[in-house]
């Protein structure tokens, strides 16, 4: 009896650990947006008129993914940086974030690889 209980406890632990691991392996673009972008660009991506531009319909968001990655990594390329730099995000996190904002705000549903973000990052000064 206690053998069965031990076995099911182990199975449960294994399941819980497996779930936790799979959640950290795949970066959650929506969670990153909520943490890092929502305060200025708003949950619906419409921004704040006169302060923070909308991401809905933005040519940066609907344009080439590499340019968008460069914008977010540098905070707008400069020389005058109006947005924060988000270069502390990992390649996988930024890829997930950009896929989220493109799907959500301009209706582009395309994969973006962490490798392509790494390539953009390596080109930046």
Interface with ligand HEC by CB under 6 A: which residues? 36-37, 39-41, 52-53, 55, 58-61, 68, 71-72, 76, 82-84, 86, 97, 101
Structure tokens at 63: 């344009």
CB of 18 to ligand HEC, least distance (A): 29
* 83 or 118: CB nearest ligand HEC: 83
Q: Would you say 15 or 81 has its CB closer to ligand HEC?
A: 81
In whole angstroms, the minimum distance from the beta carbon of 104 to ligand HEC comes to 11
Q: From CA 52, how far away is CA 49, in angstroms rounded?
A: 6
Closest CB to ligand HEC among 3 and 64? 64
Q: Please, are residues 96 and 34 in contact by the beta-carbon 8 Å criterion? A: no
Shortest approach of ligand HEC to residue 21 CB, angstroms?
Answer: 25
Answer for the pair 37, 48: CB distance below 8 angstroms, yes or no: no
Residue showing tokens 């940066």: 60
Rounded CA separation 92/69 (Å): 12
């Amino acid at each position: 009896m206690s053998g069965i209980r031990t076995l099911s406890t182990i199975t449960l632990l294994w399941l819980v650990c497996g779930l936790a691991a799979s959640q950290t392996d795949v970066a959650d673009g929506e969670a990153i947006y909520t943490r890092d972008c929502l305060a200025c660009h708003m949950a619906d991506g419409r921004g704040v008129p006169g302060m923070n531009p909308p991401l809905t319909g933005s040519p940066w968001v609907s344009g080439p993914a590499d340019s968008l990655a460069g914008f977010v990594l540098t905070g707008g390329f400069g020389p005058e940086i109006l947005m924060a730099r988000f270069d502390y995000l990992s390649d996988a996190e930024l890829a997930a974030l950009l896929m989220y904002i493109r799907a959500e705000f301009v209706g582009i549903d395309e994969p973006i690889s962490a490798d392509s973000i790494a390539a953009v990052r390596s080109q930046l000064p």
